[in-house]
């Protein structure tokens, strides 16, 4: 009986030791912070802004023109001939439809390109996380934003990953 209790106690001690060792190979990284810092340092938002600047300007001009025509129609509509007013309303509706179509296409293209650039950044960050984890002998890396609690033995490798990405 004593041998059995001793063996059980030894087994529990080994299991506790293994869980402590496993905890040493766990780290956290703040993915949101990394993504934001890498995006700023690489100038992704400026690149996208420059890429779509021309189309955005064109849409702003179209919108301004559309608003001025609407105001003119509201101001002068009551004094216009019925045929002229009808033609102006049809032109205005056609121009509004054209504007909405272009604006929707612009937004879809901008969103697609934004997603492409985000994907590239995420891939770079994930590669850097893997490299740092491999270099430091870390088995598990968790996003710091999804961890409810991490003791002092859990390493935060965010700064190491940021250095690796840059």
pLDDT by residue (tens digit) across 88-126? 889 999 999 999 999 999 999 999 999 999 899 989 999
Q: Taking the model in full, what pTM does it have? A: 0.65
Q: Model confidence at 148, in pLDDT bands (50, 70, 90)?
A: confident
Alpha-carbon gap, residue 122 to 105, rounded angstroms: 26
Position 19 scores a pLDDT of: 47
For the chain, give every domain's residue range: 26-164
Residue spans of alpha helices (H) in 25-81:
31-42, 44-76
77 pLDDT band, cuts 50/70/90, is confident
Q: In the chain, how many H helices and how many E strands? A: 5, 3
Domain 26-164 falls in which CATH fold? Answer: Protein Binding, DinI Protein; Chain A (3.30.910)
Strand order in the sheet with 26-29: 140-143, 26-29, 155-156
* Residue 9 burial (C-beta neighbours within 10 Å; 0-12, 13-18, 19+): exposed
């Amino acid at each position: 009986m004593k041998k059995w209790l001793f063996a059980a106690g030894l087994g529990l001690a080994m299991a506790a030791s293994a869980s402590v060792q496993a905890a040493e190979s766990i780290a956290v990284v703040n993915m949101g912070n990394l993504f934001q810092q890498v995006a700023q340092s690489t100038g992704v938002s400026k690149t996208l802004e420059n890429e779509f600047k021309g189309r955005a300007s064109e849409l702003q001009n179209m919108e301004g023109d559309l608003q001025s025509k609407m105001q003119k129609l509201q101001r002068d509509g009551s004094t216009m001939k019925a045929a002229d007013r009808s033609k102006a309303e049809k032109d205005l509706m056609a121009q509004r439809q054209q504007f909405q179509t272009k604006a929707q296409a612009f937004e879809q293209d901008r969103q697609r390109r934004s997603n492409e650039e985000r994907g590239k950044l995420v891939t770079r960050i994930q590669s850097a996380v893997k490299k740092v984890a491999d270099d430091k002998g870390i088995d598990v890396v968790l996003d710091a934003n999804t961890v409810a609690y991490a003791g002092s033995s859990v390493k935060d490798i965010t700064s190491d990953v940021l250095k690796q990405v840059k």
